Amino acid sequence: MEIVGKLQNQFMEFMRSLYREGFLDYQFLQLQKLQDESNPDFVVEVVSLFFEDSEKLLNNLAMALQQQVVDYKQVDAHVHQFKGSSSSIGAQRVKNACVAFKNFCEEKNLEGCVQCLQHAKHEYFLVKNKLETLFRLEQQILAAGGTVPVLS
Amino acid sequence: MGSLLRMNRLLSSIVDSCNCIIDPQLPADDLLMKYQYISDFFIALAYFSIPVELIYFVKKSAVFPYRWVLVQFGAFIVLCGATHLINLWTFNMHTRNVAIVMTTAKVLTALVSCITALMLVHIIPDLLSVKTRELFLKKKAAQLDREMGIIRTQEETGRHVRMLTHEIRSTLDRHTILKTTLVELGRTLALEECALWMPTRTGVELQLSYTLRHQNPVGLTVPIQLPVINQVFSTNRAVQISPNSPVAKLRPTGKYMPGEVVAVRVPLLHLSNFQINDWPELSTKRYALMVLMLPSDSARQWHVHELELVEVVADQVAVALSHAAILEESMRARDLLMEQNVALDLARREAEMAVRARNDFLAVMNHEMRTPMHAIIALSSLLQETDLTPEQRLMVETILKSSNLLATLINDVLDLSRLEDGSLQLDIVTFNLHALFGEVLNLIKPIASVKKLFVTLSLSADLPEYVIGDEQRLMQILINVVGNAVKFSKEGSVSISAFVAKSDSLRDPRAPEFFAVASENHFYLRVQVKDTGIGINPQDIPNLFSKFTQSQALASTNSGGTGLGLAISKRFVNLMEGHIWIESEGLGKGSTAIFIIKLDIPGRSNESKLPFVAKLPANHMQMTFQGLKVLVMDDNGVSRMVTKGLLTHLGCDVTTVGSRDECLRVVTQEHKVVFMDVSMPGIDCYEVAVLIHERFGKRHGRPLIVALTGNTDRVTKENCMRVGMDGVILKPVSVDKMRSVLSELLEHGVVLES
C-alpha cells in the first residue's frame, strides 16, 4: 500500500512537472479523459502511434533538407503533419517548434529550416523520454496493485 | 476416122487388087495416115494420163466419196486409151492376133463405157446437189457469224451497263455519281464528249453542270423550252439530235465539227415527289439532259445497242441520284438534330448552373442574412425594454417593424424557392388542432381590435382535437389567410369557421377534377374565412395566387407585404393534398377564402410511426449519442485516432478514413455526421463536401458535414460556408466541446460558431 501511494505521488508530481514545464498541454488531459473501461489503453496507443509517425517524419524531413534542390512544399507538408500530430496529443513544445519551422519553410530559409529541424528533434526526444518515463511509472503502479491517478 | 481410113484402105486395096480406076489419091493417103497415127498416139497418151492424174489428186484429197465411180471411169478411159493404142498397129497390115486383141479391147471398152454412162445418170445429180448444199452451208455459217456478233455485242453492252451501274451506285455523293457516269460512259462508248445539263432552280433554263473533257464548265445555259429539248424529254428513249443544236454546242470555238450526237433525259426525283399515293406516277417531272457525242473523225454511227446502253444508264443514274438525295436529306436532318441536341444540352447546363447558383445564393442567404436579421430584431426588442425618450422609442419601434418585415420577406422568399424546388417536405407531427386555431385567434385579435373588427371562430363539433400534419405550415396558411382578411377589411367582422369536409362540400365548382376521399385514417379539414372587406374584382380572382401580383385596389392601400403570401399558402395547401380558393361577389362586397387540406387522424395505424413530439425547452441537450454513426476524415494518423477516441467516448459508432477517395467510397446515408479535417494541405476537402451534397442531396437525412480545422481565419470559414458545410470547429476539440457540437447538430442541423 505504501509503495502504491508513493508511486502514485511520484506519478502525480511528474505529471504536474510536465504540464508546468510545458511539455504537455491541456490536450493530453483530454486524451486521458477518453480512456475508460471500453478503451483502457487509449493513451498508450495514441502515444505509440505518435512516436512511430514522428520518427518517420523526422527522417523524411532530414532527407528532404539534404537534397541538392530542396522541395519546400514537401518539407512544409511533413512539418504540417508533425504539427498536427503533436498538437493532437498535446506535445506543446514540439508543436511550437513546428510552428517556427513552418515559418522558415514559407520563407524558404534553408539554414533556418535545418536549425528548426534540430530543435524539433530535440524537443521530440525530450517529450518521448518524459512520456516513456510516465508510462513506466504507470506500469509500476499497476504492477503494485494500485490504480493510476487522474489529474483534474 | 479410123474406120474411114480403113474403108479407104480397103477401097485402095480393092482398087489395087482391081488395078483399075482410083489412082490419083494414093500419095495423099500417106500424110493423112501419118496424122492419124500421131493423133491416136496422143489420144492414147492423154487417155492413160488422165486416170493417173485423177488417182494422184484423189489420193491427195482427203474426202472423195465416189472412189468406185472413179475406178469405173478410170477403167473406161484406160480401155479407150488401150483401144487407141492398139489402133496404132492396125494402120498397116496386121496379124490376126492383133485383130483379136483389138476386138477384145473394144468390147471391153464398150462394156465399161456403157456401165459408166449408166452410173453417171445417178451420180451427176448427186454431185450437183453437193454443190448446192455447200453453198447453203456457207450461207448459214455467215448468218450464224452475224448473229454471234450481235450476241457478243449485247453481252458486252450488258457488262458495261453492270459495271457502270456498279460504279454509279457505289457512291452516295451526287457529284461523284454524275461525274462517274460521264467518265464511264465516255470510256465504254469511246465518246468524244459527254455532258450533263441540269435544270436551274427556276426551272426555265438548263445549265451545263458537268462535262467529261472540259474541266470547268462555264455557266452555259439554254432555255428549257427548245423544241429539241422537248423532243428528248417527251420520250424515255435516247434520241439522236443535230450536232448544231444549242445543247450540243459545248465547245466555245466553232471550228470543231462534232460527230453524231445523242441526247437522253434523266429523270430527277425530288423528295417532294415521294407521295405514297401516286408512287408510280411522278406528278412533277423534272429532267436533266445528258448529251453524248461521238468523235467526228471516226465516222462512227450510233448503234442500237449503244442507244440502249445509254437509256439504261440514264435510268440508273436517276435511281442513284434519288438515293443520294434521300441520304443528303437524312444527313441534314441528323445534323439539325445534333445541333438541337447541343443547344438543348447547353440550355440544360445553363439551367442547372442557374439553379445551382440560386441554391448557393439561398444557402448563403439562409445563414448570412438571417443571422444579422435576428441580431437586429433581438437587440431592438431588448432596446425597447430599456428607458427611452419618446422619440427614441418611436425610432426603435420603426426599426423593429421594418426588420420584422424584412425577416418575413426573407423567410417568404426562401420558403417559396424551396417550395418550387420541390425540396420542401412537410414536417409531420401530431398536434392539437383546436389549440392551433386558438393561437391564430390570439395573434390576430390585437390587430383586429385596433381596426375595430370583430373576429369570431367556430369549430365544428366533429372536428378532432388531435391531428397529424404539418403544424407550422398550417399555422402559416391560417395566419396568411386570416391576416389578409383583416388587412383588407376596414370595418365589420372576420369569421373563421372550421369543420370536417363532407363529400359534397369537397367539391369546388371551379375545380371539378379535385376529388377528395375521406377514409378511416384521415379526413379533410375545411376552413372558411369570411370578411366584410373591400372584396375582389372577379377579374382579379385568377391572379390572386400568382406570385408578386397585386391588383390595383390592393396596391393603392399600401398594404405592404410581398404578394407572396397567397402563393406560398397555395403551395402548402397543395402539398397537403388540398385546394384553396377565394370567392367574392365583387368590389365592396367582402370575400371568403376557403381551403381544404388533408389531415391524418392519430390513434389508428399511424401511431407507431409518428411518436408524439413534445415541445422541448430550447436549451435541452442530448447527453449521449449512442450508436450515432459518424465518419471521420483526417490524413494525420494521430489526430484521427484522437478524434475517433473522442467520439467513441461519447458513444458514437465511428468510421475513420484517411483520404478523400476513401471518404467518398465509404460514406453512406447512414452516417449522420462527417467530420472533415480541412487543414490537409494540397487536398481539396471542400470538393468532398460538394460531392457528398451532390450524392445525397439537400434533403433531410443527408449526412451533416462539419469541418475540423486548426485555423479559424476568415478564408477557411468562408470556404466552409461556400460548400454548404454545416459547421466549423477549431481543433483541438475538448470532450465537452464535441458533446455540445453534436447536440447542436442533431437539434438544429447546423452549428453556429463564432
Give this prediction's pTM: 0.36
- Residue A70 touches partner B, C-beta closer than 8 Å: no
Per the document, the length of chain B is 754
- Residue A42 touches partner B, C-beta closer than 8 Å: yes
**In which band, very low, low, confident or very high, does the pLDDT at A121 lie, cut at 50, 70 and 90?**
very high
- Residue A74 touches partner B, C-beta closer than 8 Å: no
Say whether A34 and B732 touch across the interface (CB within 8 A): no
Residue of A nearest to B738 (CA): A30
- The CA–CA distances, whole Å, from A117 to A66, A93, B367 equal 12, 13, 44
Reported as a single tens digit per residue, the pLDDT across A98-113 is: 989 988 888 888 888 8
> How would you write B318-377 as a 3-class SS string?
HHHHHHHHHHHHHHHHHHHHHHHHHHHHHHHHHHHHHHHHHHHHHHHHHHHHHHHHHHHH
Task: Flag whether pLDDT at B256 surpasses 90.
Answer: no
Q: Kindly state whether residue A100 falls inside one of the protein's structural domains.
A: yes
Task: Flag whether pLDDT at B19 surpasses 60.
Answer: no
Reported as a single tens digit per residue, the pLDDT across B667-715 is: 888 888 888 887 766 556 778 888 888 887 766 667 888 888 876 666 7
Task: Flag whether pLDDT at B139 surpasses 90.
Answer: yes
The answer to whether B405 and B555 are in contact (CB under 8 A) is no
Q: Kindly state whether residue A151 falls inside one of the protein's structural domains.
A: no
Residue A56: per-residue pLDDT: 92
- The CA–CA distances, whole Å, from B681 to A85, B326, B380, B658, B677 equal 14, 61, 44, 13, 10
Which chain A residues touch B682 with a CB distance below 8 Å?
77
Asked, as a colleague might, if the bond just before B372 is cis with ω within 30 of 0, I would say: no
Task: Flag whether pLDDT at B254 surpasses 60.
Answer: no
Which chain A residues touch B641 with a CB distance below 8 Å?
45-46, 49, 88
Q: Kindly state whether residue A152 falls inside one of the protein's structural domains.
A: no
Q: Which helix (H) or strand (E) holds A109?
A: none
Q: Kindly state whether residue A149 falls inside one of the protein's structural domains.
A: no
Query: Shortest Cα distance from A77 to chain B (angstroms)?
Result: 7
Reported as a single tens digit per residue, the pLDDT across B545-592 is: 776 665 554 444 444 555 667 888 888 898 888 889 898 888 888 899
Task: Say what percent of chain B tops pLDDT 90.
Answer: 9
- Residue B627 touches partner A, C-beta closer than 8 Å: no
**Among A88, A92, A98, A150, the residue to mutate for chain B (most B Cβ within 10 A):** A88
Between residues 708 and 727 of chain B, which touch chain A (CB distance below 8 Å)? 710
| B539: its cell numbers | 377579374
Residue that the C-alpha cell 450533263 belongs to: B196
Task: Say what percent of chain B tops pLDDT 70.
Answer: 81
Residue that the C-alpha cell 506535445 belongs to: A91
Q: Distance (Å, rounded) from C-alpha B728 to C-alpha B678?
A: 10
Q: Distance (Å, rounded) from C-alpha B69 to C-alpha B48?
A: 17
Say whether A39 and B648 touch across the interface (CB within 8 A): yes
Which chain A residues touch B645 with a CB distance below 8 Å?
31, 34, 39, 42, 46
* Dihedral sign of CA atoms B553, B557, B562, B564 in order: negative
- Residue A123 touches partner B, C-beta closer than 8 Å: no
- Residue B682 touches partner A, C-beta closer than 8 Å: yes
User: Which residues on adjacent β-strands are paired with residue B730?
Assistant: B709
Q: Please check if B84 is assigned to a binding site.
A: yes
Domain count, chain A: 1
With a CB cutoff of 8 Å and minimum separation 6, the contacts of B232 are: B239, B241, B263, B264, B265, B289
Say whether B732 and A53 touch across the interface (CB within 8 A): no
**In which band, very low, low, confident or very high, does the pLDDT at B751 lie, cut at 50, 70 and 90?**
low
CATH of the domain at A130: 1.20.120.160
Least confident of A86-95, B38-47, B145-154, B622-631: B622-631
In this prediction the ipTM stands at 0.85
Strand B522-531 with B492-500, pairing: antiparallel
Which chain B residues touch A81 with a CB distance below 8 Å?
635-636
Domain containing A52 equals: 1-144
Mean pLDDT of B381-385: 86
Q: Which of B167-171, B174-178, B267-271, B573-577 has the highest mean pLDDT?
A: B573-577
Query: Shortest Cα distance from B639 to chain A (angstroms)?
Result: 5
Q: Please check if B531 is assigned to a binding site.
A: yes
Nearest residue to B595 (alpha-carbon basis) of B550, B551, B544, B554: B544
Residue of B nearest to A75 (CA): B681
| B58: its cell numbers | 484423189
Which chain B residues touch A45 with a CB distance below 8 Å?
641
Domains and CATH numbers, chain B: 46-121 (no CATH), 168-332 (3.30.450.40), 425-502+518-550+560-600 (3.30.565.10), 629-751 (3.40.50.2300)
User: Across the interface, which of B645, B732, B735 has its CB nearest the CB of A39?
Assistant: B645
Mean pLDDT of B280-301: 74
Query: Shortest Cα distance from B678 to chain A (angstroms)?
Result: 12
Mean pLDDT of B301-329: 83
